[in-house]
Amino acid sequence: MQCKPTVKDIYDYINSIAPFDRQCEWDNSGLLVGNPDASVKKIGVVLDITSDAVKYAAESGIDLIVSHHPVIFRAAKRFLDGDPAFLLAQNGISAICAHTSLDIANGGVNDALAEALGFENAASFCEGEAEMLRAADINETDGESLAKLVAEKLSAGVRIADCGKRIKRVALCGGSGGDFIEYATSAGCDAYITGDLSHHDFLKGIECGITLIAAGHFETENPVVAVLCKKLNESFDCEAVIIPQASPVKYYF
């Protein structure tokens, strides 16, 4: 346990479990807003640093937000009143963002997703950027039953392109995993669960003979928030709380 951690102390801890130097080259993880020497009394953990999340943090005495998605992702020429990064600075709140570094990490986004789905033996099976993928052997099932399981476990609206094969081995990747379909196929997986897939991704899945399930970007990544919050509470002598947040996407039928 550490007394009165600084922002850098929290940064160093996250770097130890999800090393920032392993992030994808196009990513922007790390300490993105704030003072590394500032003392931290309360941490807020959230998937996305939105203006609502910053306002909640300011009202709740949170002085550091730890998120998955970077609050500053691409180069910006201005930060105006109301922008999340502007609001962070205005309220003296620091932000540490662990994006692809947390996707790849053991115990990170994709292991949290596997746990949420009840896949106990999930493991990494690729190198490089695709190392974030996980695969698990499951009790034999069909595409419709697997889609229903995913929808129930993640409280998600799911889309499926069912190739019709029986399913014994499943690959998964939280968020936007369309680029990894061929990796899942090459690893002998019968189905692939991710967050976002395009029309053409679904067509590719059918052609490759693999069932594809898209369960929502937020829904497939958000399980890591509770995991990360628990780790921070166990490691530091300051309170870590989950900032309430719901998916921005709603489904109507």
Q: What angle do CA 220, 226, 230 make, to 5 degrees?
A: 150
DSSP character at residue 75: -
Among residues 58, 84, 89, the alpha carbon closest in space to that of 69 is found at 84
Residue 3 binned pLDDT confidence (cut-offs 50, 70, 90):
low
Question: How buried is 121 (Cβ within 10 angstroms: 0-12 exposed, 13-18 middle, 19+ buried)?
Answer: exposed
In tens, the pLDDT along 203-233 reads 999 999 999 999 999 999 999 999 999 999 9
Distance CA 72, CA 108 (A): 21
Query: Beta partners for 123?
Result: 135
pLDDT for res 1? 46
- Contact yes or no for 195/216 (Cβ under 8 A): yes
The whole-chain average pLDDT of the chain stands at 96
Distance CA 7, CA 25 (A): 24
- Contact yes or no for 170/191 (Cβ under 8 A): yes
Query: Beta partners for 97?
Result: 30, 67
Most distant CA pair in the chain, distance = 56
pLDDT for res 75? 82
pLDDT for res 188? 96
Residue 2 binned pLDDT confidence (cut-offs 50, 70, 90):
very low
Element at 205 (helix H, strand E): helix 199-208
In tens, the pLDDT along 120-134 reads 999 999 989 999 999
Tell me phi and psi for residue 156, to 5 degrees.
-125, 150
Q: Greater confidence, 212 or 252?
A: 212
Question: Is residue 147 over pLDDT 50?
Answer: yes
Contacts of 132 (CB under 8 A, 6+ apart): 100, 103, 104, 109, 110, 124, 173
